[in-house]
Amino acid sequence: MLPILLRRLLTSATALLLGAAASADAQVPPQIFPHGARVRVATPELSPHPTTGPVSRVAADTLFLQRLRYTFTAVPLEHIQTVEVASPGRMGRGALRGATTGALLGALTFGVHEAVSPSNCDYCPQGPSRIAFDAAIGAMLGTLVGVPLGALVGKDEWSLVWVASTPGPQR
């Protein structure tokens, strides 16, 4: 809990620094990108899609984002239109989403499997109650798998921290 709170606090402080520095100049000031921060930058002149990655380093006029372990993308600061900083998403929301998805998929899979190929079990209920029983078992197993997966996968929350004052390259 504390590390997430600390990250959000640092993200908010970074956003304030970015906003204060952005008002002074039309080009993104290079000193505001903290090393390792996960950012998403929009550069419409260079790519129709935003470029995302952790900040590797910042030169006087270029931002380097790490794409893979030894692969970097160079983004000219003068072409950046917007900057967003990621803060980690909530694990609880991801766990709930994973539990719901796992339960539904497990119930559907086990229920359909029993309906298509019924098992020959002497001590198990038969007919529609057997399908419901298998669907309930599938829902429980799906929930057990879905909760940790959903918590791990989670989504990042993006905060817009800088917008260029005029569109196009700043020269």
Is residue 50 domain-shared with residue 98, that is, in the same domain? no
Residue 66 sits in the same domain as residue 137: no
Number of domains in the chain: 2
Tens digits of residue pLDDT in 52-68: 889 998 888 888 999 88
pLDDT tens digit sequence for 72-116? 889 888 888 988 888 766 667 788 888 999 999 999 999 898 888
Predicted pLDDT of residue 140: 94
Instruction: Determine the pLDDT at residue 114.
Output: 83
pLDDT, tens digit, for every residue of 113-158? 888 887 777 777 777 888 888 899 999 999 999 999 888 887 777 8
47 and 96 fall within a common domain? no
Asked whether residue 73 falls in the same domain as residue 101, the answer is no
Q: Is the pTM of this model over 0.85?
A: no
Is residue 25 within 8 A of residue 165, CB to CB? The reply is no
pLDDT at 24: 41
More confident residue, 3 or 90: 90
- 138 touches 109 (CB < 8 A): yes
Q: What is the structure's pLDDT at 100? A: 93
DSSP H or E run through 159: strand 157-163
**How many Cα atoms are found within 13 Å in the side-chain-facing hemisphere of 32?**
25
Distance CA(123)–CA(44), nearest Å, equals 66
Q: Does residue 95 share a domain with residue 84?
A: no
pLDDT digits (tens, 9 = 90+) for 5-18: 445 544 444 444 44
The domain that holds 33 is classified in CATH as 2.30.30
Residues 59 and 105 grouped into a single domain: no
